Amino acid sequence: MSSGQPAAVSAASNNEKKRAPQAVYIHIPFCTNKCFYCDFNSYVLKDQPVMDYLKALDREMELTVSQTPPGEIRTIFVGGGTPTVLNPQEMEFFLASVRKHFPRWASDIEFTMEANPGTTDREKLAVMKAGGVNRVSFGVQAFQNELLSGIGRIHNTDDVYRSLENARAAGLDNLSIDLMFGLPNQTVEMLDYSVTRALELGLPHYSIYSLKVEENTLFHTLYQRNQLPLPSEEDELKMYLLLMERMAKAGRKQYEISNFAKPGYESRHNITYWRNEDYYGLGAGAHGYVSRQRHVNIKGVNPYVEAAGQGLPRLEQFAVSREEAMEDFVMVGLRMLNGIRKEDFRSQFGADSELEEIFAGPLQKMLSAGLLEQHEDQGGYRLSQQGVLFGNEVFAEFIGVLTI
């Protein structure tokens, strides 16, 4: 950090370096196949050097904790790819590696692993449970087999029920499923049916995302050729309103734009991101954020394995300025329906940091537009009912306010 910056900025940064991250994200990049909409860093499992990758990951964990020792870990999230494509022996090695390098776990740790229906037999789930996993998030997406095949998923609805039954038999009850809306050929009625089937499962948590057509995907190619039959914007809005209404009636509170939970079952790991707090990021293509330093790891499996043998497998690492961190705090924090608190802003950026002074312009503009409202109970700001529907427009108002 340059010596030309104010002392308050340097002090805030030094304080952050003393706080060990309490959250860990780990990326397992293997999949049974590549879905048509997916632009995540994932690779088809066949002929991949899985154990070499897990050993490289073990090495990255070792180097990471020697550089930034962990404190008590409150959340771990294993994403992908599909982490549950690991066989039981690989899974056991991986989970032992996590426990070895991050030995201090909070008594109420939330340890989530993403899974695809059909990749979780009882033996594997037993290994996961024994290794500390206590929350599983299944990528279900829809309850119509024709929609699933149309987006490149290889599971069917029978796999969903079987996988959830297996998880419960293994003693895993903190379960979540992902659904998607705005899919090709999906109607409002089809989404309604999927939500009905999902709610019948009685799960404590649901994530429901709208399809985004990303570059470097099959869907992007089809979209450019005008061959992707997406629902109209009007229907997509109806879908979002429908799912919000259905979830509320079922007692699943919307705590973030795309996430609904029974009270007490919100994803604590994801809340780490939305509060702009520190987390370790490990694995190929993973992002991490520690002491106002962001990093992105090398993406390819073999390049990652090779790089981890020589040191930390970084693609890039850069400092985040105090101003940029402030913008991030507001943008990600407003995704949560409880919004942002002035007290938390002061806690992250110093007692002299007043949210209402620093962001006076965009806050007033969004309040006047009826897209934000003051949250008296929390002492801050949150999206209004209308603002939830136009979240991206609200977040955009805070980009570049301080950093241009």
Residue 343 lies in a domain: yes
In a domain, 377, yes or no: yes
Residue where one domain finishes, among candidates 274, 308, 340: 274
pLDDT of residue 227: 85
Is residue 72 situated within a structural domain?
A: yes
Supply the pLDDT for residue 13: 39
Q: Are residues 138 and 261 in the same domain?
A: yes
Residue 283 lies in a domain: no
Residue 156 lies in a domain: yes
In a shared domain, residues 268 and 395 = no
In this structure, the answer to whether residues 38 and 138 fall within a common structural domain is: yes
312 within some domain: no
| Judgement on whether residues 73 and 166 belong to the same structural domain of the protein | yes
Give which of 156, 218, 146, 215 is closest to 186, Cα–Cα. 146
Q: Which of 214, 247, 274 is the last residue of a domain?
A: 274
The three-state secondary structure class of 264 is coil
Give the phi and the psi of residue 248 in degrees, each rounded to 5. -60, -45
- Give the structural domain span for 226: 23-274
Residues in the chain: 404
Q: Are residues 230 and 336 in the same domain?
A: no
Q: Are residues 29 and 167 in the same domain?
A: yes
Residues 269 and 327 in one domain: no
Which pLDDT does position 218 carry in this prediction? 86
Q: Measured between alpha carbons, how far is 65 from 48 in angstroms, rounded to an integer?
A: 27
127 and 210 both lie in a single domain:
yes
CATH number at residue 353: 1.10.10
* DSSP string over 244-275: HHHHHHTT-EEEETTEEE-TT-S-HHHHHHHT
pLDDT, residue 7, reads 29
Domain shared by 270 and 346, yes or no? no
Q: Which pLDDT score, from 0 to 100, does residue 372 have?
A: 97
Domain end among 274, 290, 309 = 274
- If asked whether residues 263 and 361 sit together in one domain, one would say no
Distance CA 22, CA 310 (A): 26
Question: What's the pLDDT score for residue 18?
Answer: 55
Q: Digits of tens for pLDDT over the chain (404 positions)? A: 222 322 233 334 344 435 789 999 999 999 988 777 777 788 888 899 999 999 999 999 999 999 999 989 999 999 999 999 999 999 999 999 999 999 999 999 999 999 999 899 999 999 999 999 999 999 999 999 999 988 888 889 999 999 999 999 999 999 999 999 999 999 999 999 999 999 999 999 999 999 888 888 888 888 788 888 898 999 999 999 999 999 999 999 999 999 999 999 999 999 999 999 999 999 999 999 999 999 999 999 999 999 999 999 999 999 999 999 999 999 999 999 999 999 999 999 987 889 999 999 999 999 999 999 998 777 899 999 999 999 999 999 999 888 76
What is residue 5's predicted lDDT score, i.e. its pLDDT? 24
Whole-angstrom distance, CA of residue 186 vs CA of residue 208: 14
Among 158, 88, 172, smallest CA distance to 117 is for 158
Q: What is the dihedral of CA 293, 93, 285, 208, to 10 degrees?
A: -100
Other beta carbons within 10 angstroms of residue 352's beta carbon come to: 10
Do 328 and 253 belong to one domain? no
So what's the pLDDT on residue 17? 39
CATH number at residue 175: 3.20.20.70
State pTM to two decimals.
0.92
pLDDT at 401: 86
64 belongs to a structural domain = yes
> How many structural domains compose the chain?
2
The answer to whether position 78 is within a domain reads yes
**Do 180 and 327 fall within a single domain?**
no
